[in-house]
Structure 1
Amino acid sequence: MMSDTQKDLLKVKLDQLQCHFTWAPQKETVDLDDLKQRLEDSIQTSVKRQARLYNQLAFINCLQGNCEEAIQNLNEAEKILRENHKDEFEKRIIITYGNYAWVYYHMDRLEEAQSYLGKLETVCKPFPEASRFTAMIPEVYGEKGWSLLKSAGQYYEEAKECFKEALKKDPDNIEWNVGYATVLSRLEAFSGTPESREPTQSVKQFRRVLELDPDHAEAMVLLALKLQEFSQEEEAFTLVERALQKSPDLPHVLRYAAKFYRNNGDVEKALKVLKTAMEITPNSTFLHHQIGLCYRKKLMSLLKNPLSRRLHNPAFQQKTELIKLCKCHFKKAFEHRPLTFIKAQLDFAGICSINEEFPEAEKIYNNLLKLKDIRPEVRQAICLQAGLFQLHQKRTESKAIAHFLEGMKVDYNSVERKKCRENLERIATRRLHRNTRDSEALGVLGFLHQLDGKKRKAIEYLEKALEFDQGNEEYLSALCELRLSI
């Protein structure tokens, strides 16, 4: 039996390990039930990556208190590594042994945790870059990259750096090349990232994957989606068709192929492909979201028809049905991912607004505005949509202004921030045109100048605002801060 001091010393050693328990994602930033479901789905449909998936599943099970199940997951991972990677077993087992040590520590089976530290010490000795209990080798960097990529968007930058490190020493490894291409593609989709200003990096990287493995169907469809962005439709279409021929039953291939068809305007084909994928992985939140987007595309087209507003017209009935389908699939997409699938929640709130379910939409925006530890452009997207909702649906300009200003105060140069600013300037200009003594409009322009670093101009507007709204604490506080800084 270990003393408390020995237990504390063991914890210090465990914190030095490279494994899922020392990497960034924790309970507060990951939707555990959804990640568990996605890992279980992937284990069923992916033979190549099973050891990695079992390791991450063990971590999730341990966080949920299912430690015996976690040990079984690690047994599976170790068995697969012994059978499939005999020549590289020592390189690949480092993370699994680290996870064993942590799970046994959480089970209070401290001697067993200590025994895995001993195993790690033996395994790591031959590596020149090793510390006592771990070695920063490509296999460790690569596995960490995949774990972070599978978790949530705020970890993508770190995942990218992990794949880059793995590829420095093993540039031809297909799995690390796929991971690097995938994370580049996702970062390019976030406005404000350095990658979004160089949107062809992932194209080069996916082409590199296909040089190494010409039959990699997932790389084909992901490359096709990138080429579609640059209007290279012919090559993109060929890649999607080839990918579907190579892997007609692989859910990841089907879902990206469906996204390609939807983007191309072929909603019916997209829905057909998504329903095939849904038969294989019926609980996929991604698939539900994609189906919801297909129905929304049909709905938006129908809303242009004036007959859709006439109660007894078939177009009205069709509109009602499409709204119901959108809400159903968007809700299924985020109900197990309230922390990470923010896009699906914003899409659901948007449909509620179209259907004039304003209390439901407002409730979603209020919940999203409370989220912490999310990507800056996602925070700005929430502020933008919440502001537009207050502006157009609720007709409460003051609340809209507050949301847009909150989005502006997130210091991140994204498309969403630019739209928050445009709305603020439009509101302030219109209101001052009607009434030059409008203190709220003057205050908005003052805050915008303050954010731009134009301090004297900001002081000028805030002083004017205070003339017509004496004692406003927000304006007084901003003025005090500005005057002290000059």
Structure 2
Amino acid sequence: MSGLSKEALKLRLLQLQCHFSWKLLLKDTDPDELEDRLYDQLTYLVTKNKYMVYNFLAYVIHLRKDYTKAIANLKKAEEMIEENNPDGTDQKYLVTYGNYAWIYYHMNQHEDSQKYVDKVEQIYKELKGSRDVAEIYGEKAWSLLKFCGQYYEEAKQCFQKALELEPEDPEWITGYATVVYRLEGFNGRTCSSSDCKSLELLRNAVEKSPKDPVVKALLALKLQDLKRTGEGKKYIKEALEQAPNLPYLLRYVAKFYRRAGMVDEALHVLKSALALIPTSAFLHQQTGLCYKRKYLNVKKSLENGNYYGRQVHSAEELHDLLQNALFHFEKTVEHKKTFVYAYVELANMYSEAKKYQKAEESFQTVMSFPDLIEEEKQQIYYNYGQFKEYCVRSESEAIDYYKKSLQITVIKQERQWSEKALRRISTRKIKNDIHDAEGYALLGFVHKTNGERNDAIDCYEKALKYDCYNEEYVSELCELKLMI
């Protein structure tokens, strides 16, 4: 090759800001599911920045080594930039040219690769050497946001940098509000009204982008989080009037309805959305949650009906709801094989159907995922503990998993439920036998995990009183006394 050596070219490529240098790790996503989502966005999203989707799609397609198709998507990205770039600012091409350079490098077309590296450098020269470009920060932020939840914090930082350079850009305002909203509820976290930052950000985004129905739906969901459902309904109504057939809106509308107890309305909306995007894991998951809610309501009604001598629902109806929930949770993990919470929901519904082997397989599958975060582990351990206690009838195994859930310091409802389960088991043991050492030791573990050392010492001393040679209890007691 003429020009740069292969090694020197690689060094220059590594300095480019594009999808190939943003450390989008394959272990963190399902590339097939991501590709499907990006194609759906090209079909349904109404935005002048579709070139970003084509850029991202080119990167995802290159993972299959389909370089010809990847190049075709970059050409579409160029066309979109030209169509929507009347002022002719070349910085919008920076990421596209960087992706071109990398793909040609992988094709061993080094001269073409160098040509695009030179194009990038020429744009920077026209910008008088400045490497801080809002378009790059913004495009990186949107890509991180679409990739997976573990990248939300970095996406937030990128949107902040884009806004520092272009504080009035509606695209970056909406993106920043969206990622802050997602972070506040990430993995079941709760955000008090005093700590909530996304509410005002979403209001500002709606003001800057009044024709964007999706951001209105996010504002409605945040208002619902803050117990202001009535106010949220106003934005849901406005959004639906603007885009009644937009699947990205309908999924949030359905979530709003389901959380408001309007489950039939949610299912109606979800069916419309699934007709448009039948491979959406999110839509199947939301549909599964609706059928699960209806199933649990009917199950409770049947139990109460039998108790009070009246029956409103039938066993056949209960069976159908359970099968519908299973179907949609199975579709969820089929279309998104890394969807942790969907595996837990699926396992729980298998348990309801008394398909215990399938439930066990689902739990084992999700527990084998690499790089599970603490919130995910906490939820899995609690639910697996429930499965072991009530379906497998193995109290010792259940205790082990409740303990694992409690030891994770993230404050989620599963931690509180795990503590409640351990206290329930220990109380029952002591009530059945005042000399039950394990019951006192279990209560001591709960106190110790919560930092209540004196109470923990008292419990372990009682445990040793009735099982004086237990090495575990001796060790725990010594450790606690050394802390004091």
The reply to whether residue 343 of structure 1 matches residue 341 of structure 2 is yes
* Equivalent-residue separation in structure 2 for 1:416 and 1:173 (angstroms): 40
> What aligned pairs does 1:200-211 form with structure 2 within 5 A after superposition?
200-211=196-207
Once the two structures are superposed, what CA deviation does each residue of 1:410-429 show, in whole Å capped at 9, x if it has no partner? Answer: 34333333332332333234
Tell me: CA distance 1:62–1:463, structure 2 relative to 1, closer, same or farther (3 Å). farther
Structure 1 equivalent of residue 225 of structure 2: 229
Report % sequence identity. Answer: 38
The reply to whether residue 174 of structure 1 matches residue 170 of structure 2 is yes
Superposed CA RMSD: 3.3
Once the two structures are superposed, what CA deviation does each residue of 1:255-305 show, in whole Å capped at 9, x if it has no partner? Answer: 212222222333222222222222222221111122222222221221123
Structure 1 equivalent of residue 69 of structure 2: 69
Contact 1:189–1:196 under 8 Å retained in 2: no
Deviation of 1:462 after TM superposition, in Å, equals 6.3
* Equivalent-residue separation in structure 1 for 2:9 and 2:434 (angstroms): 68
Contact 1:195–1:201 under 8 Å retained in 2: no
- Equivalent position to 2:385, from 384, 387, 406: 387
Contact 2:302–2:312 under 8 Å retained in 1: no
Tell me: CA distance 1:296–1:209, structure 2 relative to 1, closer, same or farther (3 Å). same
Structure 2 equivalent of residue 17 of structure 1: 16
Deviation of 1:430 after TM superposition, in Å, equals 3.2
Structure 2 equivalent of residue 41 of structure 1: 40
Q: How many residues align?
A: 478
Mind listing any 5+ residue stretches in structure 2 that lack a counterpart? none
Tell me: CA distance 1:423–1:313, structure 2 relative to 1, closer, same or farther (3 Å). closer
The reply to whether residue 315 of structure 1 matches residue 301 of structure 2 is no
* Equivalent-residue separation in structure 1 for 2:87 and 2:449 (angstroms): 58
Deviation of 1:138 after TM superposition, in Å, equals 1.8
* Equivalent-residue separation in structure 1 for 2:432 and 2:285 (angstroms): 43
Deviation of 1:332 after TM superposition, in Å, equals 0.8
Deviation of 1:234 after TM superposition, in Å, equals 3.2
Letter in 2 for 1:332: K
The DSSP-based 3-state class of the residue aligned with 2:15 is coil
- Bigger Cα displacement from structure 2, 278-287 vs 460-469: 460-469
Tell me: CA distance 1:327–1:420, structure 2 relative to 1, closer, same or farther (3 Å). same
Mind listing any 5+ residue stretches in structure 1 that lack a counterpart? none
Q: Normalising by structure 2, report the TM-score.
A: 0.88
* Equivalent-residue separation in structure 1 for 2:174 and 2:54 (angstroms): 20
Deviation of 1:251 after TM superposition, in Å, equals 1.2
- Bigger Cα displacement from structure 2, 291-300 vs 440-449: 440-449
> What aligned pairs does 1:96-107 form with structure 2 within 5 A after superposition?
96-107=96-107
Contact 2:382–2:414 under 8 Å retained in 1: yes
Structure 2 equivalent of residue 400 of structure 1: 398
> What aligned pairs does 1:62-461 form with structure 2 within 5 A after superposition?
62-87=62-87, 89-127=89-127, 130=130, 135-190=131-186, 198=194, 200-306=196-302, 315-339=314-338, 341-435=339-433, 438=436, 440-445=438-443, 447-448=445-446, 451-452=449-450
Letter in 1 for 2:301: N
Letter in 1 for 2:170: I
* Equivalent-residue separation in structure 2 for 1:205 and 1:387 (angstroms): 39
> What aligned pairs does 1:42-61 form with structure 2 within 5 A after superposition?
42-48=41-47, 49-61=49-61
Once the two structures are superposed, what CA deviation does each residue of 1:82-109 show, in whole Å capped at 9, x if it has no partner? Answer: 2212435422222112222222233333
Letter in 2 for 1:142: G
Contact 1:224–1:235 under 8 Å retained in 2: yes
Deviation of 1:483 after TM superposition, in Å, equals 8.6
The DSSP-based 3-state class of the residue aligned with 1:428 is helix
Tell me: CA distance 1:454–1:314, structure 2 relative to 1, closer, same or farther (3 Å). closer
Contact 2:33–2:335 under 8 Å retained in 1: yes
Deviation of 1:440 after TM superposition, in Å, equals 4.5
Deviation of 1:80 after TM superposition, in Å, equals 0.9
Tell me: CA distance 1:105–1:481, structure 2 relative to 1, closer, same or farther (3 Å). farther
Deviation of 1:115 after TM superposition, in Å, equals 2.6
Deviation of 1:454 after TM superposition, in Å, equals 6.3
Tell me: CA distance 1:127–1:297, structure 2 relative to 1, closer, same or farther (3 Å). same
- Bigger Cα displacement from structure 2, 415-424 vs 290-299: 415-424
* Equivalent-residue separation in structure 2 for 1:462 and 1:147 (angstroms): 52
Once the two structures are superposed, what CA deviation does each residue of 1:428-459 show, in whole Å capped at 9, x if it has no partner? Answer: 34324444665554554555455455678767
